[in-house]
Structure 1
Amino acid sequence: MPHRFKVREIAQQSGLSEATVDRVLNDRPGVRENTRAEVAQAIADLDKQRAQLRLNGRRYLIDVVMQTPQRFSDAFRAAVEAELPAFAPAMLRARFHLWESGSVAQMVDALGRLRGSHGVVLKAQDEPEVVEAVDRLVSSGVPVVTYTTDVPASSRCGYVGIDNHGAGVTAAYLVDQWLGFPRTRGAADAPPSDVLITLSRTVFRGEGEREVGFRSALRGSGRGIVEVSGSDGLDATNERLVLDALDRNPGVEAVYSVGGGNTATVAAFERLGRRCRVFVAHDLDADNRRLLRDGRISVVLHNDLRADARLALRLLLQERGALPAEPVRPVPIQVITPYNLPS
């Protein structure tokens, strides 16, 4: 049983004798299972108390660096700000570096200009230049956690977010089940409906993993997949791209939105008088809440942003030795419909 405490400390915390604690720690026979559990709990409690002492009065400045549509950055910013007080008695402050559209060079420059940071939560392109920028930060003593989309070749200390490949497979399952029958009623030999998949940029690894999962799960279904990318998830750009794709592909009756811009995608279908039978989106931002409530999209694959923020901040503090290490569990995917929409 690993620990960093004296036998006397564990005995005081557990209320057991030092001899009993010694027998448990050395795995000697004749010790009841509930006694072992009491010693394990005492060690866990001492770990938490030591962490509280380490945090007492400490100040940490965390940088959140993200290229993402404002609707998502607004939601994540609110989540981070809501979680900062939870790390008392430490005092955490956050600086936000957020933009909607930009180049890899802009991301590298933003990371290179950080000063006085105690940790970075990062949503960035998976490009060699970004890997190098992250490595420079880490080598200077600034831990980095990637969020929603990973940069796995870098020396970041962890990734927070859903299993993107699994999310794509889930989306494909929902689309295929809900589309079900051919688009022309009464025509048994009519081809299956096609699906539009929209991405913001192909340089984001998380979006690529979702797309791969989606395509692999629909393989053999006979459904065509039409891809639209390059919009940065912005409505103004996305509507033009979707209109063009729908004009060229009359068989599209479903959408898997990987990268956002859903208000524009819905508007494009309506402008052409086309029916979208199934629409699967990501993230429960303000736009998607409204679209879901109005019945204009079918389902949102979502994860709790406050839980994400809490985990990202915790990983940074763990890396700095301010909190004990805990195992990181995958973030579960929530399937949100108009009938289980959280308040």
Structure 2
Amino acid sequence: MKHRYKVREIAQQSGLSEATVDRVLHERPGVRESTRAEVQQAIRDLDKQRTQLKLSGRKFLVDVVMQSPERFTTAFRAAVEAELPALAPAVVRSRFHFRETGSTPAMVETLDRIGARGTQGVIVKAPDSVEVVEAIDRLTAAGIPVVTYATDVPGSSRAGYVGIDNRAAGATAAYLVDQWLGEVSSTVLITLSSNAFRGEEEREMGFRAALRSFGTDRAVIDIAESDGLDATIESLVLRALEQNPDIAAVYSIGGGNVATTRAFERTGRACRVFIAHDLDEDNTRLLRAGTLSAVLHHDLRADAHLACRMLLQARGALGGVATAASPIRVVTPYNQP
């Protein structure tokens, strides 16, 4: 049995004799399974205590960089700030760098500036471009770990990705749309904020692939480069509705759902199925009103907590941080949290 402690330490922690602990560690016969379990638990407890001692009094500064609509960055900032106390005994402070729109050079400039100012880690939601990959690589080469959030930059040296499985999310949306439309052969509108984000691209790919697998011949059209902003997306949706009289369902990948709703109202059209992402203030209100059929939601606080722990692990302050895709929850007007 692997361990890093003296027999005496394990015996003290478990309340067993040193002879018993020695028999368990060397896997000798004649030991009850319950006794083995006690020794294993004692080792886990000692690991936890060592981690807490290692973290005690240590201070970490984490930077969060995002290009995203304010409704999302506001929600994620609240999630991060709510979870920082749970990282005790480490003291973790955060700085936020948000923009709703921006170019790749602007994102790279922000990442480079953070690296020059000094930080213990970066959580970033950014386009997947060569320039961003290089900027992340410069941070990690300087000993600054980076975790990507919501949309990945897999070609970089980031420590890991936190968020949902975006292809699975798109497939889930396709299933809901297909089930609710039934025999109605409506065109489906997909709205994105930008094709530069890998996460949005993966959601669209998952949606289209799943819809094809259902054997339906529904037409799918998409609009992009709206930055998820209401002012931009309303005009794009209006144009799509005017050009495509059969649109009766929407899969909103990039947000701007208040504007999409206004566009349908202005044309006097009904949206039979409307699937969106994230329970921000706008979507919560639209869901309560019955305008949204369902929201694909995941726990932002759990994401924030995991991202921070991954950064601490990358700095050698934690161990055993397991990563997994965030669970996707289908929220309807009848099961809102």
TM range (shorter): over 0.9
SS at match of 2:80: helix
Displacement of 1:23 in angstroms is 2.2
Kindly indicate whether residue 109 of structure 2 is the aligned counterpart of residue 109 of structure 1.
yes
Following the alignment from structure 1 to structure 2, what is the Cα–Cα distance between the partners of residues 44 and 6?
A: 14
Instruction: Write the letter of the residue equivalent to 1:196.
Output: L
Residues 236-258 of structure 1: CA deviation (Å, up to 9, x unaligned): 00001111111111111100000
**Counterpart amino acid of residue 49 in structure 2:** Q
Match for residue 319 of structure 2 among 324, 339, 343: 324
CA distance in 1, matches of 2:26, 2:202: 46
1:100-149 Cα offsets, whole Å, 9 max, x none, are 01111111100000122000011011111111110110111111011000
User: 1:199 and 2:192 equivalent?
Assistant: yes
Match of 1:262? 257
TM (norm. structure 1) is 0.95
1:84 aligns with 2:84: yes
How far is the alpha carbon of 1:27 from its aligned partner? Answer: 2.4
Given that residues 48 and 324 in structure 1 are in contact (C-alpha distance below 8 angstroms), is that contact kept between their aligned partners in structure 2? no
Does 2:305 correspond to 1:310?
yes
List runs of 5+ in structure 2 lacking aligned partners: none
Q: CA deviation at 1:10?
A: 1.1
Q: CA deviation at 1:5?
A: 1.6
Question: Is residue 124 of structure 1 aligned with residue 126 of structure 2?
Answer: yes
Q: Give the number of aligned pairs.
A: 333
Secondary structure in structure 2 of the residue aligned to 1:309: helix
Cα deviation digits, residues 291-328 of structure 1 (max 9, x gap): 00111111000001111110101111111111122321
Please say if 1:221 is aligned against 2:221: no
Structure 1 residue 73 corresponds to structure 2 residue 66:
no
3-state DSSP of counterpart to 1:203: coil
Please, which of 289, 295, 299 is the counterpart of residue 300 of structure 1?
Answer: 295
Out of 225, 248, 255, the position equivalent to 1:253 is 248
Matches within 5 A, 1:10-25: 10-25=10-25
2:181 is aligned to 179
SS at match of 2:177: helix
- Cα drift, residue 2 of structure 1: 2.6
- Matched residue type, 1:26: H
Q: Pairwise CA RMSD of aligned residues?
A: 0.9
User: Which residue of structure 1 aligns with residue 269 of structure 2?
Assistant: 274
User: Residues 69 and 228 of structure 2 are in contact (CA less than 8 Å); yes or no, is this contact kept in structure 1?
Assistant: yes
Note if contact 1:58-1:90 (Cα within 8 Å) is conserved in structure 2: yes
**Seq. identity, %:** 68
Structure-2 separation of matches of 1:330 and 1:8? 40
Give the Cα separation in 2 of the matches to 1:271 and 1:258.
22
* Runs ≥4 residues deviating over 6 A: none
TM-score (norm 2): 0.97
Structure 1 residue identity aligned to 2:126:
A
CA distance in 2, matches of 1:22, 1:100: 60
User: Is this contact kept in 2: 1:47–1:324, CA < 8 A?
Assistant: no
User: How far did residue 28 of structure 1 move?
Assistant: 2.5
Counterpart of 1:140 (choices 121, 139, 142) is: 142
Paired residues of 1:65 and 1:121 also in contact (CA < 8 A) = yes
